[in-house]
Structure 1
């Protein structure tokens, strides 16, 4: 039997110690301390090491996201004497009293990762080479483990999932799966023989290193070592606890893996039965934990304060609950530090204001509902000109010309420029507005608020005066307000927003032809919208502006309270048509789907999608919304941004156009100048929209909600284009296969 755990730092005290790893270089910057690997210790002096490490642990330095879960891992570039080195930074938040206690004892997650990686390297077990350990002096402050980036490494999860599904040969034709299993078993045997007990050997912590050639013996690397321990020896039970975690489900694969681990004659019946017992027990535990964690998580989210990403500034010292929002530069939006209880107390204190809002909404509901039903009956009865696609932008000072080209190549003439009234300078915004106006774009400006401006009406008026004077020559429409139903944007009582709106409207309407849009309620909370445009004494609006995000429901066809995207668009127009303080016009001034990119994403992990899904959802949302003819504009927020933009900044400073950019550009250019004339009959779960173009004739745009669905078109297909603009091989006749990514079929008249 094995003895108890030995501290990883004391590996040399174990019998038959492996060759020691060179000691790292310690550093202490006051608020940060740690070690740098010996191989890099001479690359910086004291004056250059600190700024380089501080830059590295700033998530703004991320080139891309590696993993976004309990901890955040991102790829970054470390500047060394030999040139740039690609690394992975693992950020530990260190929330909770247990982790704070471990850190006080010198056993925090980052330090355990550092010591574990050094122990693996000393034992000759492939892992990501440890490069730096960075700790915060604050007990609840973040800590970081920096390792070398294993370029081209493939997580075992993808191999094992394909093998379990029976699609391995199709998915990975260049890899010999049996050779992979044998290499995996042999590597884990060497790990255990060295006394290394991983304790979290999931399929995401096993990497197949390149090149994955069938003729070469695969090399396996083991990562995520913060739970690992060094023992004098490992019992069969402890070894099996590691082995059973891997998602190897078929009996032949399990036997091959275990024979590679135990040896041809070492897989005894006892060891086989022990493995099966542990394997099935582990799977049962994981399934039970998922169900339990879901319930506990919902309860925790309802009661516990929200935890901020470590890069977000703290609330001002001594700030009241109403004044705890701060700006998050990575997601380009505010963050609210006030906890749920604090917000509840504020809402309770403001109960009379909220009651007034609810009674106004209740009084307006009957006429809104009547108009909604009328609009539903009239839907798709008239042709709709396709001219409402828009994109929202902010300046890109790093390369203004690249931004201009990205806008031009998008093929969209409607641009919304968000201004920041709280900022002291607006030169970059004005330069961009001037350029776009000179090139003939139709410009709209958004004037968001923050808490400081809400509390200081004189400053708000001065900001609007300046922005109106500077930007009205370039565009005549101004959206006043931003997400006024979210306290992080500074508005707690809707009377506060109406005061901002009244001041801005009085100032901006001094200029002939200026139009005011509002109230810019975010998400599907149209009861708030309905109340704000029907309150007695409200400010007249020239169009209803909504930030109509549907990302929390997934696909745009999904329903919320019985309304899909089309239903929500119709309801917005019904509110505008029946409002006491708004013209019968409706705009959607923000929509997007956040990406799986950690703190750069403006929403949580639960709603994040991959780039391909974002592109598909974008095209489908625009088609569903604009084809109703009930919304004049739909703007994607925004063009350039990590985490959600159509374009992402690259690590070389250039801009990378995502699949969503191609989907937007193809949609805009293909349907430019066309008219939507109606929906065609389609199989369940599929959509066919018919457009007529004066030059290109009849274009049918089709897609499915999920999977491939065959459908028939009313005439033979003459040409077929994919969502990204790539020409496809035109099928014979009128048959088409619809997919979640939209397709454009030009058919005979």
Structure 2
């Protein structure tokens, strides 16, 4: 990245933009676009809220729903082995446009992944935003070299943060338009997703979905972090994670510019005591047990929405927020085992329903014709362990206790009792 932009190798993101004079100048230059963002959102957001109850769920392919972000330059051989150990079928990789000299290394890594589906997030810099010819030249190389081995290209990321290079939505729209025109001209078979707004800032998303640019998305990407609110069930402006997904899905459904496909291409929680690797301040950081609990519950709530096509955890190896800490050796955090057991049970699951009652959650699925329930509660309570239950902890250990403790740490319950050929759904029973 060129001045005044810098990359922070600790947290894998741009450093804060320190040149305030430059930042103010660029914001002023893009004032017309910023005004459009406000006006569009004032109409689209209330309308989308009204339409949300009418948007139907889809049937989500659970095999490709669970995706994992990976740095192809960080312990590449061990990374391939870990991906195979997890048995994950979809992987998200990031390519920096200012590091085009690594594209052959990226291609080699993708080929080593075998038949895994690849989402490639192409990260922008200011030079490529300003130089359209350079942008087209490098995307021709990307599409040509990676043709047939990348499933989806995500064009740009984190467009609503100035340190990532964009100072308005229209700057992003022009950026995406150039790539889309190139696709239509020479690479019509590839799939492009975009928008790339981070956090619950849907006024920016609205502008990417409702505008006069002549482009189209094959799906919408979102970096839907909720870490500043703590648990994924916690509300922001009255919207918990499930509500945020529903609203975003409604906007996708209502937009004429995109297919009805939604991908959460980055999410995590920062881990306490990992500065300077944590991407936020210590205030937002959580302990490793909460990290594993929140991650699993984020996936469960997203899967239960049946409106999100994939969620890519960011990421496999990272000291400040990954499933594995590599500051000394490769140390698997509890969340690694949590992710592995989640995949083992749910990558071939058929969603049935999500029941919520008095902060008690039960996700119900069919797995190989067996009923699986995943229980958790925001208020500690108990449940009788019936003789037709087979119970596992969050990380896959068998639980045989007569009374099950239900709290922030989800448990898996397979219901083995059947009547004829039909498996009975069991209502939750509390032992008081």
Tell me whether 1:637 sits opposite 2:288 in the alignment: no
Aligned match of 2:133: 458
| Aligned ranges 1:257-406 → 2 under 5 Å | 316=3, 324-338=4-18, 343-344=23-24, 346-375=26-55, 386-387=62-63, 388-396=65-73, 399-406=75-82
- State the Cα distance separating 1:717 from its structure 2 match: 4.4
Please give the alpha-carbon distance, in whole angstroms, between the structure 1 residues aligned to 2:390 and 2:19: 56
Please give the alpha-carbon distance, in whole angstroms, between the structure 2 residues aligned to 1:332 and 1:670: 31
Task: Tell me which of 664, 674, 696 is aligned to 2:339.
Answer: 664
Partner secondary structure for residue 50 of structure 2: helix
| Aligned ranges 1:611-690 → 2 under 5 Å | 611-651=288-328, 654-680=329-355, 682=357, 684-690=358-364
- State the Cα distance separating 1:345 from its structure 2 match: 5.3
Confirm or deny: 8 A CA contact 1:422 1:463 kept in the other structure: no
Tell me whether 1:498 sits opposite 2:173 in the alignment: yes
Please give the alpha-carbon distance, in whole angstroms, between the structure 1 residues aligned to 2:266 and 2:245: 13
Partner secondary structure for residue 475 of structure 1: coil
| Aligned ranges 1:117-132 → 2 under 5 Å | none
By relative contact order (CA 8 Å, sep 6+), the higher-ranking structure is 2
| Aligned ranges 1:539-554 → 2 under 5 Å | 539-554=215-230
Please give the alpha-carbon distance, in whole angstroms, between the structure 1 residues aligned to 2:12 and 2:234: 27
Confirm or deny: 8 A CA contact 2:345 2:367 kept in the other structure: no
CA shift digits 1:382-411 (9 cap, x unpaired):
8765331100111145x4221111111122
Tell me whether 1:745 sits opposite 2:413 in the alignment: yes
Partner secondary structure for residue 677 of structure 1: strand
- State the Cα distance separating 1:373 from its structure 2 match: 2.5
Please give the alpha-carbon distance, in whole angstroms, between the structure 1 residues aligned to 2:17 and 2:395: 40
| Aligned ranges 1:533-612 → 2 under 5 Å | 533-596=209-272, 597-612=274-289
| Aligned ranges 1:66-465 → 2 under 5 Å | 316=3, 324-338=4-18, 343-344=23-24, 346-375=26-55, 386-387=62-63, 388-396=65-73, 399-423=75-99, 424-436=101-113, 439-465=114-140
Confirm or deny: 8 A CA contact 1:384 1:628 kept in the other structure: no
- State the Cα distance separating 1:366 from its structure 2 match: 4.6
Please give the alpha-carbon distance, in whole angstroms, between the structure 2 residues aligned to 1:621 and 1:532: 25
Tell me whether 1:518 sits opposite 2:194 in the alignment: yes
- State the Cα distance separating 1:723 from its structure 2 match: 1.0
CA RMSD of aligned residues (A): 2.2
- State the Cα distance separating 1:444 from its structure 2 match: 1.2
CA shift digits 1:659-690 (9 cap, x unpaired):
111111111111221112112464x2221111
Point out where structure 1 has 5 or more consecutive residues left out of the alignment: 1-312, 317-323
Confirm or deny: 8 A CA contact 1:410 1:665 kept in the other structure: yes
Confirm or deny: 8 A CA contact 1:402 1:655 kept in the other structure: no
- State the Cα distance separating 1:724 from its structure 2 match: 1.4
TM-score, normalised to structure 2's length? 0.90
Aligned match of 2:368: 694
Task: Tell me which of 703, 710, 724 is aligned to 2:395.
Answer: 724
CA shift digits 1:277-315 (9 cap, x unpaired):
xxxxxxxxxxxxxxxxxxxxxxxxxxxxxxxxxxxx9x8
Confirm or deny: 8 A CA contact 2:271 2:287 kept in the other structure: yes
Tell me whether 1:704 sits opposite 2:377 in the alignment: yes
Partner secondary structure for residue 664 of structure 1: helix
Confirm or deny: 8 A CA contact 2:17 2:162 kept in the other structure: no
- State the Cα distance separating 1:621 from its structure 2 match: 0.0
Partner secondary structure for residue 689 of structure 1: strand
Confirm or deny: 8 A CA contact 1:521 1:545 kept in the other structure: yes
Tell me whether 1:487 sits opposite 2:162 in the alignment: yes
- State the Cα distance separating 1:736 from its structure 2 match: 3.1
Please give the alpha-carbon distance, in whole angstroms, between the structure 2 residues aligned to 1:698 and 1:716: 15
Please give the alpha-carbon distance, in whole angstroms, between the structure 2 residues aligned to 1:344 and 1:554: 32
Confirm or deny: 8 A CA contact 2:319 2:327 kept in the other structure: no
Partner secondary structure for residue 603 of structure 1: coil
The structure having more radius of gyration, on CA atoms, is 1
